Amino acid sequence: MKKYFLLLVLLAAFNVKAQKTRTSPIYQFRIYEIFESNKKEFHERFRDHAMRIMKKYNFKIISIYESKSDKKTEFVYFLEWPNEVTMKKAWEDFRKDQEWIDIKKLYTEKYGDALGNIEDRVLTKLDYSPN
């Protein structure tokens, strides 16, 4: 009887751990190459328009940075998502948003291309990562 009870406890613990892993948030790391010639306008567009529209689609931006090297300037930001399905749907909806499409078109016509290379990584936090 004790063996069965112990087995039941272990299976329950494993199931709770598996469910916790499946529902843990994921993080997205995005890097945009931006150009010095229209960097100010890029930041204006992201700050005043992209972030506001992203909020409609439940984007959770954790932090935003700029990185500069001899060769290029990069705009870097982190997002948190409940899961990958939610992330993909939000990006799909954002890209189809007519207001965003119109703003991108207006800024591109007025200031030129705002972005060069774009890198995108999905990060899954490991269970031994510090909080």
Phi, psi (rounded to 5 degrees) for 29: -115, 115
Q: How many CB atoms lie within 10 A of CB 87?
A: 20
pLDDT tens string 21-53: 456 799 999 999 999 999 999 999 999 999 999
| Higher pLDDT, residue 77 or 131 | 77
Judged against a pLDDT cut of 70, whether residue 3 lies above it is answered with no
Per-residue pLDDT, averaged over 71-84, amounts to: 96
pLDDT confidence of residue 125: 85
End-to-end CA distance of the chain: 39
What is the C-alpha to C-alpha distance for residues 17 and 44, in angstroms, rounded to an integer?
A: 43
pLDDT average, residue stretch 107-115? 95
- Domains by residue range for the chain, with CATH: 24-124 (3.30.70.100)
Q: If pLDDT is split at 50, 70 and 90, which confidence band does 12 have?
A: low
- For residues 129 and 56, the answer to whether their CB atoms sit within 8 Å is no
Q: What pTM did the predictor assign? A: 0.78
The whole-number pLDDT of residue 18 equals 47
